[in-house]
């Protein structure tokens, strides 16, 4: 990429977002151009990538189009070899060449790297995987919409794209639109402002056979967007078009979701992805190492899988960072080095015990399902484990009562308070209950 274009790009960008933000967020980003009119921005870590994506994507694209032409597309990727300290990182001559190639642009809105082939299946994600496969192979017409629900970094976006990639492979003429719910919203706002709402509606309602919408939780509280999406949804659904939605929240937990939209989401099939079990974490790490051509000793893999439990993205990040660190510094790839990487990755407290982990452990202890804990079922078989799980969410995860209520299928905070008190008192008088609590806590590593 030529330096002049690069400088132009920065100038354009600073008009859009201001010098200070440019310094803060983009000084550590590497820009290069690949052969398909694609501008690739590499960021040192996922956090920066997410931040840039969330906040500056439109501006970046606008600036890139001004400099490289209107057909330019933008790609963001993580390159852990980039320095994380501020430096002259935008100057490509001062950078190591970006290590990994950009995903092949086989489809404008799909990520070609996310396929069923490289998705590791385990007990935590097998239902979601099976449902996605069925939809991709067009075996399940009534799975519409397919609602995939699960915590951050557990493979929702991966599966969503895998369905798209498989559908395209089987029917190359299929019009597939894969997008973030946020983009839908931004497009809509822009269309309203520019009085182009008809064009917008045509794009979403008529010009697509399959809509894959990622991170729908962002629509919570956005009434106008929900309304538009509701009509889009109905029109597509009535025409028999496929709809797949992902969310990090269960429909019932999205408290400011319009009821009619919620019932639409619940009208197809809802599948969840849980944090992967130890064995699945090992399998994911091994697969990833193999794909990236990394040689990592088994005990280091095991160590990473023990330490990073709730986020596959972090698991992968640790692996890449570890191997980069070892090759850059010449240190042996061992457990000590792994520990350094892990502690740097986990400082933001994300690995704290989550409500999901508590629910999962409690459910498996009582041999019921996590969905039973979230369901309205009130018989004792479910009610007691639910109260215990709520109590532990309070004690171990320090969540607020309304937060706990939301995690348990949208229950009222007064119900949560009642449950926490009941268990709090009960554990001092009921020996068996106390023993159960201790065992579950041990299983949670608390």
Chain residues in the site for ligand ADP (CB under 6 A) = 114, 118-120, 125, 150, 152-158, 284, 312-313, 316
Q: Nearer Cβ to ligand ADP, position 243 or 289?
A: 289
In the DSSP assignment, the letter for residue 366 is: T
Give me the residues paired with residue 213 across strands.
Answer: 179, 245
Q: Nearer Cβ to ligand ADP, position 270 or 437?
A: 270
Q: Could you write out the DSSP letters of every residue in 245-265?
A: EEESS-GGG-TTS-HHHHHHH
Q: Nearer Cβ to Mg ion, position 111 or 157?
A: 157
- Residue 158 binding target from Mg ion, ligand ADP, none, CB below 5 to 8 Å by type: ligand ADP
Q: Are strands 73-78 and 242-247 parallel, antiparallel or unpaired?
A: unpaired
Min dist CB 17 to ligand ADP, Å, is: 25
Min dist CB 325 to ligand ADP, Å, is: 19
- Which residues inside 285-344 make contact with Mg ion, applying CB under 5 A? none
Among 157, 226, 274, 361, binds Mg ion (CB under 5 A): 157
- Residue 165 binding target from ligand ADP, Mg ion, none, CB below 5 to 8 Å by type: none
Min dist CB 246 to Mg ion, Å, is: 6
CA angle 275, 281, 283 (to 5 degrees): 135
CB of 173 closer than 8 Å to CB of 104:
no
- Residue 286's region, left for phi above 0, alpha for psi from -120 to 50, else beta, is alpha
Min dist CB 421 to ligand ADP, Å, is: 35
Point out the residue whose Cβ comes nearest to ligand ADP.
Answer: 155
- Residue 312 binding target from ligand ADP, Mg ion, none, CB below 5 to 8 Å by type: ligand ADP
Of 126-134, 150-158, 230-238, 420-428, which part binds Mg ion (CB under 5 A)? Answer: 150-158
Of 3-11, 152-160, 341-349, 378-386, which part binds Mg ion (CB under 5 A)? Answer: 152-160
Q: Could you write out the DSSP letters of every residue in 371-399?
A: HHHHS---SHHHHHHHHHHHHHHHHHH--
CA angle 248, 252, 258 (to 5 degrees): 100
Residue 146 backbone phi and psi in degrees, to 5: -100, 120
Q: Nearer Cβ to Mg ion, position 156 or 249?
A: 156
Give, for 74, the enclosing helix (H) or strand (E): strand 73-78
């Amino acid at each position: 990429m030529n330096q002049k274009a690069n400088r132009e790009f920065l100038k354009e960008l600073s008009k859009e977002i201001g010098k200070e933000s440019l310094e803060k967020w983009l000084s550590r980003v590497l820009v290069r151009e690949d052969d398909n009119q694609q501008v690739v921005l590499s960021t040192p870590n996922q956090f920066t990538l997410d931040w840039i994506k969330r906040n500056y994507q439109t501006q970046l694209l606008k600036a890139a189009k001004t400099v490289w032409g209107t057909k330019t597309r933008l790609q963001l990727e993580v390159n852990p070899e980039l320095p994380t300290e501020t430096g002259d990182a935008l100057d490509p001559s001062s950078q190591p060449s970006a290590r990994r190639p950009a995903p092949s642009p086989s489809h404008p809105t799909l990520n070609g790297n996310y396929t069923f082939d490289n998705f590791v299946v385990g007990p935590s994600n097998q239902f979601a995987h099976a449902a996605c496969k069925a939809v991709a192979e067009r075996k399940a017409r009534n799975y519409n919409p397919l609602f995939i629900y699960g915590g951050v970094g557990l493979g929702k976006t991966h599966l969503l794209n895998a369905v798209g990639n498989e559908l395209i492979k089987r029917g190359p003429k299929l019009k597939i639109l894969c997008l973030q719910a946020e983009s839908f919203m931004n497009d809509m706002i822009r269309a309203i402002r520019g009085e182009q709402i008809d064009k917008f509606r045509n794009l979403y309602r008529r010009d697509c056979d399959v809509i894959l919408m990622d991170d729908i939780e962002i629509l919570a509280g956005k009434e106008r967007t929900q309304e538009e999406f509701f009509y889009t949804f109905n029109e597509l659904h009535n025409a028999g078009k496929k709809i797949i939605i992902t969310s990090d929240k269960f429909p019932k937990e999205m408290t400011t979701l319009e009821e009619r939209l919620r019932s639409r989401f619940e009208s197809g099939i809802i599948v969840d992805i849980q944090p992967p079990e130890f064995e699945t974490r090992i399998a994911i790490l091994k697969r990833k190492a193999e794909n990236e051509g990394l040689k990592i000793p088994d005990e280091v893999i095991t160590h990473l899988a023990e330490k990073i439990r709730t986020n596959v993205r972090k698991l992968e990040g640790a692996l890449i960072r570890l191997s980069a660190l070892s090759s850059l510094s010449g240190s042996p790839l061992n457990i000590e080095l792994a520990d350094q990487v892990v502690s740097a990755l986990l400082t933001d407290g994300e690995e704290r015990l989550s409500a999901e982990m508590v629910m999962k452990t409690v459910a498996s202890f009582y041999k019921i399902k996590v969905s039973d804990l979230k369901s309205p079922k009130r018989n004792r078989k479910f009610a007691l484990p639910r109260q215990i799980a709520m109590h532990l969410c309070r004690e171990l995860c320090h969540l607020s009562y309304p937060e706990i209520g939301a995690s348990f299928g949208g229950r009222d905070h007064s119900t949560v308070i009642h449950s926490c008190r009941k268990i709090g008192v009960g554990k001092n008088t009921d020996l068996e209950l106390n023993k159960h609590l201790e065992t579950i806590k041990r299983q949670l590593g608390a």
